Amino acid sequence: CSEGNCYFGLKDDLARNLFGQHIASEVIMKAVTGFINNDNPKKPLVLSFHGSSGVGKNLASQLIVKNLYKQGMDSRFVHYFNSVAHFPDHGQVETYKSQLQHWIRGNVTNCAHSLFIFDEMKNMHPGIIDGLKPFMDYVHKLDGVSYRKAIFIFLSNDGGEIIRRTTFDFLITGKERQKLKLEDLETDISSVEGFGGFEVESNAVDFFIPFLPLERQHIVKCVLAEMEATGHKPDHNKACDMADEIVLYFPKDEGGFARFGCKMIAGRLEFFL
């Protein structure tokens, strides 16, 4: 099942496309390349992405996939689950749990390098999360199947407010955003009530990765990138106008962060232009 595209492109892709996320970019790059270079990992790679809406969590997961699989998100070895869409009825938790375990077991049996993305973790029932734990721990084999070469990525809004507050407090003291480090945030988001605190008990998650709130400068970059991606000539003045007109920032008196990050840029670009 080796579809491996050259993962050396990951660093460039993160630099070109993931704006305002120096912590996430560095940790993802080191974690993924370190894991791929290890012929005999002790456990699967488990990454937990945390941050508010529109700051790049989904994009980062897609960039990882793009650089590991020739067919990207269309690869049959990449599996995406949205807790709201795939596990909507909390009365069916045991059924979901059993089906998911069967699905993971079958796909890892077929391809040891399978990758699983779980989105909207904030809405996932703890019982289903509990069912995932055995696949992510330090276990040589589980019922004859080794999961040590698989990758699990979790996306959650949990911790978004803590990340925003910590970033804001850091900036108002006059410090540079780029000086923020993983250790300034990881402990807080790993202990947040909900998915983070629940998972860390088993030491299954290798990195709790914070995605920082975006500032106006990052929104302008998002607009320029979207212009280029949709065949429009990038126009810095128009990008600035769009960043000012359709994006809400808070707290307003301090310049602040984009309330929904780059979430609405793609959907409103044509209308704005």
Please report the pLDDT score of residue 246 as a whole number.
82
Please report the pLDDT score of residue 203 as a whole number.
76
Residue 133 predicted with pLDDT over 70: yes
118: its two tokens: 């779980």
Residue 233 predicted with pLDDT over 70: yes
89: its two tokens: 């009825």
Please report the pLDDT score of residue 225 as a whole number.
94
Q: State the pLDDT confidence band at 7, using cuts at 50, 70 and 90.
A: low
Length of the chain measured in residues: 273
Are the C-beta atoms of residues 64 and 207 closer than 8 Å to each other?
Answer: no
What confidence tens digit (pLDDT) does each residue in 26-68 have?
999 999 999 999 999 999 999 999 999 999 999 999 999 999 9
What confidence tens digit (pLDDT) does each residue in 64-106 have?
999 999 899 999 999 999 999 999 998 999 999 999 999 999 9
Q: State the pLDDT confidence band at 199, using cuts at 50, 70 and 90.
A: very low
Task: Between 273 and 225, name the one with better pLDDT.
Answer: 225
Q: With pLDDT > 70 as the criterion, what percentage of the chain qualifies?
A: 91
Coil, strand, or helix at residue 111? coil
Q: What's the CA gap between 192 and 223, in Å, rounded?
A: 32
Q: State the pLDDT confidence band at 5, using cuts at 50, 70 and 90.
A: very low
Residue 16 predicted with pLDDT over 60: yes
DSSP string, 30-97: HHHHHHHH-SS-SS-EEEEEE--TTSSHHHHHHHHHHHH-TTGGG-TTEEEEEHHHHS--GGGHHHHH
Q: What's the CA gap between 173 and 211, in Å, rounded?
A: 20
Please report the pLDDT score of residue 254 as a whole number.
55
27: its two tokens: 């940790």
What confidence tens digit (pLDDT) does each residue in 148-197 have?
999 999 999 988 999 999 999 999 899 999 999 999 898 778 766 555 44
Going by C-alpha positions, the residue among 15, 44, 267 that lies closest to residue 149 is: 44
Are the C-beta atoms of residues 125 and 90 closer than 8 Å to each other?
Answer: yes
Q: Write the burial class of residue 146 (CB in 10 Å: 0-12 exposed, 13-18 middle, 19+ buried).
A: middle
Superfamily of domain 9-210: P-loop containing nucleotide triphosphate hydrolases (3.40.50.300)
Q: What's phi and psi for 155, nearest 5 deg? A: -115, 130
Residue 224 predicted with pLDDT over 90: yes
Are the C-beta atoms of residues 152 and 45 closer than 8 Å to each other?
Answer: yes
